[in-house]
Amino acid sequence: MLSYVVRRLFHTLIVLFGISLIVFFAIRLTGDPAVAMFQGAGEPSKEALDQIRKALGLDKPLWQQYLLFIGDMLTGDMGVSFRNQQPVLQLIMERMGATLTLAFAGIFVAVLIAFPVGILSAVKRGSFMDMFGRIFSLIGISFPNFWLAIMLILIFAVNLQWLPASGYNGFEYLILPAISLGLILSGVLARLIRSSMLDVLHQHYIRTARAKGVAEWVVIIRHALRNALIPTITFLGLQFGALLGGVVILEQVFSWPGVGRLVIDAINDRDYPLVQGSVLILAFMLMLVNLFVDLLYGIIDPRIKLGRERS
């Protein structure tokens, strides 16, 4: 197990190096940050542009800028934001709490809804509950989360005035964004759980457990659900990684101060250090989540040996 973790962390470093290379050169295709700083302030002179480029270190050759960027990153220094003149790591960490809170809350709502719906749909296959589960999954797949977010704001914030429409000042501000995110995600998750459970419920060991007189709920939860969790956990891991930087529209709708909005604003401002730092940190967190999911495989199913050498 330890050798597997060390090997995965080494692969993570290689992947991060490749991502840093791609992001560094790709962001420079979006435009000149010196010009972006003068937006709305008239046409800048060539001398003013040259002075800003020199102050930002953009007058050096690209290869030299990249080497300086890599050297600083290895020491934990991701540079200073061009626009805010604050350390990049500090700006990202200030927003990361809100992003992680929304991601965990959305996953929690999705699991809370999808597991009962998916399990009951599989166990009661062909019944009204199964039909309800499939319709619910179809609706969840079809509706965009920003439309659901707007509808929830109109109902619970504008008409009923039970919850705040936007902001990030307490638990009540989290409810509508989490439901908007979790409800849509639960539709896909419930469909996956139903499919996985149906595959497992037809296995021989399930029939054997029932023939031995094991209680039905024990058969469903301990035997069937546990073996159906592998694809479900894989999906949740991938979705959690996507939620870290992919809920920009919801963040805009609810004025949620997450990393997604920070990255979009940084791209519009041509804030090279902030974009590079945000992408690298999000990529690193995504790879950590994938590593955690792989380790869970061995806990759920002991037959999976993560440390086994692959030929």
Residue 267 included in any domain: yes
Same domain, 62 and 122: no
Q: What is the DSSP letter of 143?
A: S
* pLDDT: which is higher, 210 or 160: 160
For residues 92 and 258, what is the distance between their CA atoms, to the nearest angstrom?
9
pLDDT greater than 60 at residue 145: yes
pLDDT in tens, 250-259: 888 888 888 8
Contact between residue 187 and residue 138 where contact means Cβ atoms under 8 Å apart: yes
Same domain, 83 and 95: no
Task: Work out the average pLDDT over 130-148.
Answer: 83
Contact between residue 56 and residue 79 where contact means Cβ atoms under 8 Å apart: no
pLDDT at 108: 92
- The residue range of the domain holding 83 is 2-87
Query: Which residues are within 8 A (CB) of 32 and not within 5 positions of it... i.e. 6 or more apart?
Result: 49, 53, 58, 270
pLDDT greater than 70 at residue 311: no
What's this model's pTM, rounded to 2 decimal places? 0.79
Q: Indicate the residue among 87, 104, 128 that finishes a domain.
A: 87
Lowest mean pLDDT among 54-63, 146-155, 168-177, 296-305: 296-305
Query: Which residues are within 8 A (CB) of 49 and not within 5 positions of it... i.e. 6 or more apart?
Result: 32, 34, 35, 38
Residue 259 included in any domain: yes
pLDDT greater than 60 at residue 248: yes
pLDDT in tens, 43-83: 667 777 778 778 777 778 888 888 888 887 888 788 888 87
Place of tokens 């920003």: 146
Total structural domains within the chain: 2
Split at pLDDT 50, 70, 90, the class of 38 is low
Cα torsion 99, 105, 108, 110: sign: negative
Contact between residue 137 and residue 191 where contact means Cβ atoms under 8 Å apart: yes
Q: Indicate the residue among 39, 71, 87 that finishes a domain.
A: 87
Same domain, 139 and 270: yes
Residue 306 included in any domain: no
pLDDT at 39: 62
pLDDT in tens, 270-305: 888 888 888 888 888 888 888 888 787 777 766 666
pLDDT at 310: 42
For residues 263 and 95, what is the distance between their CA atoms, to the nearest angstrom?
10
Task: Work out the average pLDDT over 177-189.
Answer: 88
